[in-house]
Amino acid sequence: MDSLELSTSLSVDKAEKKNQSIRVRLGRLRDSVCESGIFVLTASSAIIIVFIFIFILIKSWNIFAVNGINFVLKSGFDQQIIEAYHAPADKPVWHFGALGLLLGSGLTTVGALLLAIPLGIGTAIVITELSPRWMKGLLQSFIRLLASIPSVIYGLVALLVVVPFIQDNFITSELQLQYIKQFQLTGNSLLAGIAVLSIMITPVIVALSVDAINAVPHRYKEASLALGLSHWRTIVKVIVPSAKSGITAGIILGTGRAIGEALALSMVSGGIGNIPNPADGGVFFLTPILTLASAIINKSESMSVPSINAALFACGVLLLVTCTTLSLFTKIVERSIRRREGLE
């Protein structure tokens, strides 16, 4: 009887070991398939991005071949589009300058960041550190809802609210007459673009900053409070610096969205490639402008002309290079911060 029980026990052990071995093999096979699938998807995405860049570069090559560096150093894009559209087929216009568009994109982005960064980080601190527990989830859901609203909705609200507000409160008849030879002051302006863009990118900064602050180990806060620091000094001196890599990533991601935004800005910024003059004082912010992304939308109806088609693709090249540079810069900054903190 004892030998029979021993034999049965050995058989059961062998079966369990065999089943365990099979489960281990299946687990390794599943992990291998998942890793291979992720690698294929990642490689496919990278290849697609490369082909998109090559396609856009080919489409715009004639513009860069004719203009060279002058494409980003000279202005007058609006007038050049008109000249190219009305030029005879045997004498096409290939000279374009996107300086006004670059400055328009840069000014709206910088202005929006100056408003959105303190507002976004401050809101994230309120949500994570100063709000009651029942309110945190509600506020986070509200912020994510704001981040998911389509840009055309922001543009429509700004067109109905922000633009009339600027026109009624900052633009007078005398001011319109003074600058009528240069441009028309209607409320569609750099200021309107900055306002709508700051509202659009703030939820992105808030959402990523909240995640970064929540990821800070709770023992950091406990140690700071135990040393006698107030709650506010703990936030400023300990929690926010510890979360700066995630906050920085959110800021750069918001910058990328701001630079690439087209629809909302085309509705409220004026759609004219002016270069605002600081010597004009407050009119600097009331000047109608045009960004790179908005130019592609506003001038797309003229893409039947080969030179205009190439010029708009050249604007796309500048946008793609800028966004790619920002993505790489995000990785570099994040890795640099992590190395300084001893996490790598």
List of E strands, 279-343: none
164 within domain boundaries: yes
**Identity of the amino acid at 160:** L
SS (H, E, C) 124-184: HHHHHHHCCHHHHHHHHHHHHHHHHCCHHHHHHHHHHCHHHHHHHHHCCHHHHHHCCCCCC
Nearest CA to 305 among 108, 80, 97, 125? 80
| Type of residue at 214 | N
Q: What is the amino acid identity at position 239?
A: I
In a domain, 338, yes or no: no
As a whole number of angstroms, the distance between CA 221 and CA 229 comes to: 10
DSSP type of residue 76: -
For 143-175, give one letter per residue: b (16+ CB within 10 A) or e. beebbeeebeebbebbbeebbeebbeebbeeee
**CA distances, 223 to each of 37, 220, 274 (Å):** 44, 5, 54
d(C-alpha 269, C-alpha 272), whole Å: 8
Contacts of residue 50, defined as CB under 8 A and 6 or more positions apart, other chains included, come to none
Burial class (CB in 10 A: 0-12, 13-18, 19+), 186: middle
CB 299 within 8 A of CB 308: yes
Is residue 72, in this structure, part of any structural domain at all? Answer: no
Number of domains in the chain: 1
311 in any annotated domain:
no
* Domain containing residue 127: CATH number: 1.10.3720.10
The answer to whether residue 254 is domain-embedded is yes
The one-letter code for the residue type at 314 is A
Q: Map residue 2 onto helix, strand or coil.
A: helix
Q: Which amino acid is at 121?
A: I
Determine the structural domain holding residue 238 and report its residue range: 98-298
pLDDT in tens for each of the 344 residues of the chain? 455 555 555 565 666 666 677 777 777 778 788 888 888 888 888 898 888 889 999 998 999 998 888 888 888 888 888 888 888 888 888 889 888 899 999 999 999 999 999 999 999 999 988 888 888 888 888 888 888 888 889 999 999 999 999 999 998 888 888 888 888 888 889 999 999 999 999 999 999 899 889 888 888 888 888 888 888 888 888 888 888 888 888 888 888 888 888 888 988 998 888 888 888 888 899 999 999 888 888 888 888 888 889 999 999 898 888 888 877 777 777 677 667 665 55
**Gap between the Cα atoms of 126 and 132, Å rounded:** 10
CB contact burial 260-291 (16+ within 10 A = b; e otherwise): bbbbbbbbbbbbbbbebeeeeeebebbbbbbb
The pTM (predicted TM-score) of the whole model is 0.83
Q: Flag whether 51 is in a domain.
A: no
Q: Please, which residues have CB within 8 angstroms of residue 208's CB and are 6 or more apart in sequence?
A: 246, 247, 249, 250, 253
Residue 53's pLDDT is 87
- β-pair partners for 270: 289
In a domain, 265, yes or no: yes
Please, which contacts does 79-86 make with residues 24 or more away whose CB atoms are closer than 8 Å? 80/311, 81/299, 81/302, 81/308, 81/311, 84/302, 84/305, 84/307, 84/308, 84/311, 85/302, 85/305, 85/308
pLDDT of residue 1: 47
Q: Note whether residue 132 is domain-resident.
A: yes
Question: Residue 303 has which token pair?
Answer: 């893409």
User: CA-to-CA distance for 71 and 201, rounded, in angstroms?
Assistant: 29
